[in-house]
């Protein structure tokens, strides 16, 4: 196995979510920013909530209403 080809490993990498939750994990980057984590993701929270990204939900609902007519 070749030496000095692997990235640096940070055992105390901090992960920050858009909801404000932070936790520590091991990673190849010291700071990771995510949009969704286990505290706010609908699968883990059990909430039936639509996560809107750039108006995609509204666009879908408008198209669906046109089809229903």
- The pLDDT confidence band at residue 21, using thresholds 50, 70 and 90, is very high
Burial class (CB in 10 A: 0-12, 13-18, 19+), 51: exposed
* Per-residue confidence (pLDDT) for residue 53, from 0 to 100: 64
Flag whether pLDDT at 5 surpasses 80: yes
Tens-place pLDDT, residues 25-42: 999 999 999 988 888 877
List the domain boundaries for the chain. 10-68
At residue 50, the pLDDT reads 60
- What fold is seen in the domain 10-68? Rhinovirus 14, subunit 4 (4.10.80)
The model's pTM is 0.58
Task: Give pLDDT, residue 42.
Answer: 73
Residue 58 has pLDDT above 90, yes or no: no
What is the C-alpha to C-alpha distance for residues 39 and 6, in angstroms, rounded to an integer?
32
Handedness of CA 62, 64, 67, 69 (dihedral sign): negative
């Amino acid at each position: 196995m070749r030496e000095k080809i692997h990235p640096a490993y940070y055992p105390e990498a901090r992960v920050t979510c858009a909801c404000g939750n932070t936790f520590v994990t091991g990673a190849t980057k010291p700071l990771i920013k995510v949009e969704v984590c286990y505290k706010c993701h609908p699968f883990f929270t059990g909430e039936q909530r639509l996560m809107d990204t750039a108006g995609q939900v509204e666009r879908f609902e408008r198209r669906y209403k046109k089809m229903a007519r």
